Structure 1
Amino acid sequence: MKWVLSGGALVLAGSYPTFIERTTVLVNHYKIPLPRLPAAFHGFRLAQLTDIHLGQLVSAAFVEGLVQRTNRLGADAILCTGDFVHARNTIEEIDQIWPLLAKLHANYGVYSVLGNHDHWADTDRSLYWLERTGQDLRHQSKVIYKGKNRIILGGAGDFLEDQLKIDEVFARSDERDCRILLSHNPDSVDSDFDTPLDLVISGHTHGGQVVVPLFGPVTVPVDNKNYTSGLIATPKTQLFISRGIGWSILPVRFNCYPEIAVLELLNPKLLA
């Protein structure tokens, strides 16, 4: 009996990172103070989906559930920051996931950029769907108005497989504008650009997937190893990194649940 129980415990411990935590998606709420945020946008909520990696072990049915959950959150806008598919050199997963992503809706719009996996699968097909869904923010900016107040959302190209063009994205914005950039890879923050940014929203890291207590992530696929997850102050701007949904390299997560991130934008002056 002891051997049976011990064996069962080992099986459970071994299967937990793959079959339990990896598929348990949390909705996590974050408060993001932005000093230049217009008062009309105080409390504005952004829902972020990133690194879904449709494909092996991440089914279309699973993604459809994510889309429904995200819509039910009632966020003001939805942001998707890339790596929607997993496999390379095929359009099959691209054509499978984008009709599902097209079902996302929010009062102030849905905005998306691509990640490295989307380019590795097929750049042209990914760009086709990005435009077809009306979610395309790559290499452009969109203005969101509330009355006479506004914020500017911009989208960078992927850090590894595209050109960022951050300064070009915000070329028509005003220096007084609150500017928020979507960029799949957080290393973009350390690239060469001059435009002042209030917030950069990224994914790519998966939070490290395996986070050892008192040690931290075993590995993080970025140049700047400080860029793991959550809200980070950098010399240029604030950076938020979501742990995302899917997996890369190995289909496991430990102490690093997948997440749909909900970012509540706050003007610090209105918190007093």
Structure 2
Amino acid sequence: MRFAVFHWVMVLIVLWRFVLPLSIRRPLKWLLALFFVSIALFSSAATMFFGGLLSPELPRGVIVVKEAFEAFLLFTTGLVLAREVVIFFTVLAGRSGEKAHRAVQKDRRTAIGLAAAGAVLGGAALYGGIKVPDVARRTIYVPGLPEALSGFEFVQLSDTHVSALLTKTWAEGLVERVNSLNPKLVLITGDLVDGRVERRLEDIAPFGRIKAEFGVFGCDGNHEQYGEYERWKQIFADLGIRMLRNEHVALEVAGAKLVLAGVCDPMAARFGREMPDAAKAFAGAPDGADAVRILMAHQPKFFPRYREAANFALQLSGHTHGGQILGMDRVVAIMNGNFVRGLYRTDPAKLPGKDAQMYVHPGSGLWNGFAVRMGAPSEIALIRLERAPAEKTAA
């Protein structure tokens, strides 16, 4: 419902500040207005009648067209607002407001240029949102890392959101790219799939072909809570993905211990399921000079709370999708404890003696209700652990 309102607000802005001032014939103006209204109607209908906001069940081609029009509307609205800012400052500078309005609001050539720019930006953002992600190599320096684990590499995936948009073909491309890295370990930090088991079983099947020497592990995201939770638990297990829910596993790597833990997602509260408990997740886990502890927690905003409750060196999170669009990412950061993408450290003033780092993955996919990215690309994170002094962070 919130996104439907968002679309209608954008349509009203475009109608008021873009369509109505144009110096074109009235029938053309009405057709243009109808076009923008149709975008919002299409989006609202998809949400209300075809599977809901989280997983609209439409043919992929229809979803791509829907998302393309919505991307066009989004960027056109942004450009219209930017144009209004130009007019405002022109008037403040003492120039003729009427002249500025004629030049940038009523002129058809200006309107065509603005619409073309909206289409180009929207198309580029849609492509960035639905393409198979590229590999991003990250090095994280962990103080006190056991020598045997220095140089250890693993893959982190997050927010794959396999859906009617990111289908089996997309999943196959993702898995092929992951396997080409010959990873020792693959970790998936939540939001694996959107939709009912019957709809998504074929689309998620390629995840069963991920190859990793030490296995594939994951943790729940908020989207895991919305669907057929118990059935998906079994499907993930059948695919060879071990989901860690307030529990851990200790892997033996060249004589050192790599402790992986995962917490449940806070959205579990809405459904009466187990809440995240970092202390429980690490209970009884190795914790010495020959061990390093990694926590998987889908939502990053609870990082300080988890570190206060349990000892670990690195948290891996997702959820934010990196903000998806440069500029909008600042708003997303505020909603997520000022974490949005990249590497963060605990604040020594707030958590003295409890140093830890967190890598917030920008997402490998995205949900098909807002399928655009610009300036915040998706990724397959290939993370390399290196031993380093405490003051060193990451590359």
Output the amino acid matched with 2:283: A
Which 10-residue stretch deviates more, 41-50 or 13-22? Answer: 13-22
Structure 1 residue runs without a partner (length 5+):
none
Q: Does 1:17 find its partner at 2:125?
A: yes
Report the counterpart of residue 172 of structure 1 in structure 2: 284
Match of 2:384 in 1: 264
Q: Which has the larger radius of gyration?
A: 2
Cα RMSD between the aligned structures?
A: 2.4
What does the per-residue CA deviation read over 1:139-195, in whole Å, with 9 as the maximum and x for residues that have no partner?
Answer: 221112123211211111113224212111211123313110111111231335522
Q: Is the counterpart of residue 253 in structure 1 residue 367 in structure 2?
A: no
Listed as ranges, the gaps of 5+ residues in structure 2 are 1-108, 269-273, 348-353
Q: Tell me the amino acid that sits aligned with residue 247 of structure 2.
A: Q
Aligned counterpart, 1:200: 315
Match of 2:299 among 185, 206, 209: 185
| Paired letter, 1:189 | F
TM-score, normalization: structure 2? 0.62
Partner of 1:150: 257
SS, match of residue 128 in structure 1 = helix
Instruction: Please identify which structure carries the higher helix content.
Output: 2
**1:5 positional shift:** 8.3
Pairing partner for 1:211 from 316, 323, 326: 326
- For 2:385, what is the secondary structure of its paired residue? strand
Change (3 A) 1:24 1:131: closer
Cα distance in 1 for partners of 2:181, 2:320 equals 24
> Which amino acid in structure 2 is aligned with residue 185 of structure 1?
Q
User: How many correspondences in the alignment?
Assistant: 264
Check whether the contact 1:22–1:258 (CA below 8 A) recurs between aligned residues. no
Moved more, 103-112 or 6-15: 6-15
Does structure 1 retain, via aligned residues, the 8 Å contact 2:259–2:286?
A: no
Query: Residue deviations 1:35-84, cap 9 Å, x none?
Result: 13210110101101111111142121101110110011122211111111
Query: Distance in 2 between the 1:128 and 1:184 partners?
Result: 20
Distance 1:23 1:219, change over 3 A: farther
Higher RCO, Cα 8 Å, sep 6+: 1
Deviation (angstroms), 1:22: 4.2
Distance 1:221 1:100, change over 3 A: farther
Q: Structure 2: which amino acid aligns with 1:120?
A: Y
- CA 1:21–1:165: 2 relative to 1, 3 Å: closer
Gap change, CA 1:171 and 1:227, over 3 Å in 2:
same
2:167 corresponds to 1:47: no
Tell me the amino acid that sits aligned with residue 299 of structure 2: N
Q: Deviations over 1:78-122 (max 9, x none)?
A: 1111111234xx223452344221111111211111211122121
Identity percentage of aligned residues: 28
1:133 is the counterpart of 2:252? no
**Residue of structure 2 equivalent to 1:100:** 206
Partner amino acid, structure 2, of 1:219 = V
Shift of 1:14: 2.5
Q: Which moved more, 1:153-162 or 1:39-48?
A: 153-162
Bigger shift: 58-67 or 168-177?
168-177
Going from structure 1 to structure 2, the CA distance change for 1:115 and 1:36 (only over 3 Å counts) comes to same
Assess, with a 3 A threshold, how the Cα gap between structure 1 residues 140 and 252 changes in structure 2: closer, same or farther: same
Q: More deviation in 65-74 or 162-171? A: 162-171
Matched residue, 2:181 = 73
TM-score under structure 1 normalisation?
A: 0.87
Task: State the secondary structure of the residue aligned to 1:255.
Answer: coil
